[in-house]
Chains A and B, each alone.
Chain A
Amino acid sequence: DAKTTQPNSMESNEEEPVHLPCNHSTISGTDYIHWYRQLPSQGPEYVIHGLTSNVNNRMASLAIAEDRKSSTLILHRATLRDAAVYYCILLYSGGSNYKLTFGKGTLLTVNP
């Protein structure tokens, strides 16, 4: 299984941009990069995903390195509600790898 590596924790100030990194050096050409976040006492929620090109949605942006061995989740203006654990995982598009495992993620603290 392709693995991801994320920093254990990061800190940001409110209304400042946040760049959350993820390394996935063993990614295969058909793996999608997904980001989820988990607020306290809740189940994880989907944030964004991509394959090769950078992606934007109302929650965040995803910047994918040209070699796809790393990616960065960008929160353009952090709010206190963005304080959560952020998970980067790889989903295989070949259809036969159904096992979806999460790493420890990055705990984001947002200071007022």
Chain B
Amino acid sequence: SQTIHQWPATLVQPVGSPLSLECTVEGTSNPNLYWYRQAAGRGLQLLFYSIGIGQISSEVPQNLSASRPQDRQFILSSKKLLLSDSGFYLCAWAPAGTGANVLTFGAGSRLTVL
């Protein structure tokens, strides 16, 4: 069966510090991978998605970047965090192919920037 792991679960970072959130998927190959952010009391905002190694599409111009160094690994990074980067970050995956395929989310990483 497929599983998705996301870490760290919680982190508190000072403004200006770097960020690295990691997501890995097991039990599948060539998944579509996604990073979403949810600010407090807000909806899900799509940040990045990837359909293959090294293929990253950015949805919102911002202080963040994403990379996919391996087929089932998706990393969200920042060189210098802003206060506005605080939020609940969610990684998700879906099988490539038809619209019948289900999107599966990780447990999320809650980031607080002070």
Contacts and interface: CB of A to CB of B under 8 A. Distances in A.
A103 B104 CA distance: 17
Contacts of A105: 43
For the complex, would chain A's binding face be called helix, strand, loop or mixed by DSSP majority?
Answer: loop
A32 B100 CA distance: 6
Interface residues on A, range: 20 to 34
Given A100-B94, A102-B44, A105-B43, A43 B106 contact: yes
B112 to A, nearest CB: 14
Interface in A11-34: 30-32, 34
30 contacts: A31-B99, A32-B100, A34-B102, A36-B103, A41-B108, A42-B107, A43-B92, A43-B105, A43-B106, A43-B107, A43-B108, A44-B44, A44-B92, A44-B103, A44-B105, A46-B104, A90-B99, A91-B103, A93-B99, A94-B99, A98-B57, A99-B49, A99-B59, A100-B49, A100-B92, A100-B94, A101-B59, A102-B43, A103-B43, A104-B43
Contacts of A68: none
B105 A100 contact: no
Given A41-B88, A98-B32, A102-B44, 16 more contacts: A32-B98, A32-B99, A43-B90, A43-B92, A43-B106, A43-B108, A45-B105, A46-B102, A91-B99, A93-B98, A95-B98, A98-B57, A99-B57, A100-B49, A101-B59, A102-B36
A74 interface: no
Contact of A49 (B92, B97, B100): B100
